[in-house]
Amino acid sequence: MSALADLLSWILLGAGSFFLVVGAIGLVRMPDVFTRMHATSVSETLGVGFILGGLMIQGGFTLVTFKLVCLFVLLFLTAPVASHAIARAAMADGVEPILDGPEIDARDGDDLPPLGFTKKVTTAIDASDAEASASVIVEDETVNTGEKR
Amino acid sequence: MMFVVTMAAVLISLALATFRALAGPNVFDRVLAGNFVGTLAILFLAVLGFLNGRPEFLDVGLVYAFLNITGTYAVLKFFRYGALGGEAPPREQEETREGVSGVHK
């Protein structure tokens, strides 16, 4: 094992440890189940990826590295699926996500998706004027006033 | 050695995730923390093998990964439908259904 490979492996292990602890701190400190899920996703992708990458460099071209690759692919496929299942179950059970801004009842008696997807934004395209082509017109003005839809 | 630092990070994360699993307000926080504990167990096994110089426990890690996703789905399905097998009671309507999380209006 050359010194360069050792150095690269240690950098990867250090970065993975950092993201793992950051995600765990986010799991404790975040206010909501959805934001906590956002924090653990950091650990389960970046932390696991960096740590297993560092272990792969330490393993060399052996069966151990092949097993680590299998483990990485498996975790990389199943962790977002589990997060999506938890988020979907929480939404179906009625856990309200904490939305920024005024208190708006997002699930008020209809089957529409929660607020944030219903804002109507129309982009005005003016071919003659290049500056006006980037202007954005917000049609639905009640979105920003805090009233119900 | 760098494996000791990685092992310390895994153990710190395990302690924080255990706190969230014990203190989570509703069941989905606990399921999320349990899923994270499972991921940390896989990392613990992998790093422990390299720390002892015998990285032979990775098969156990693979089995743990499968058990992790299966267990998460089983718990979520149980709390969604109230049963795991074919004798599930008929689902009630979404509006009148009483959730398990206790955060309903």
SS3 state at A140: coil
- Which residue of chain A comes nearest to B8, CA vs CA? A17
Nearest by CB: B50 against A55, A71, A93: A55
Here the tokens at position B88 are 């599930």
H helix count then E strand count, chain B: 3, 0
Count of A–B CB contacts within 8 Å?
145
Q: What is the pLDDT of residue A132?
A: 43
Tens of pLDDT, residues A102-133 = 555 555 554 545 544 444 444 444 444 444 44
Here the tokens at position B55 are 């990285």
Tens of pLDDT, residues B56-85 = 778 888 999 999 999 988 888 887 776 666
Q: How many CA atoms lie within 13 A of A57 on its CB side?
A: 20
Residue B104 touches partner A, C-beta closer than 8 Å: yes
Bridge partner residues of A136 (DSSP): A123
Q: What is the pLDDT of residue B56?
A: 78
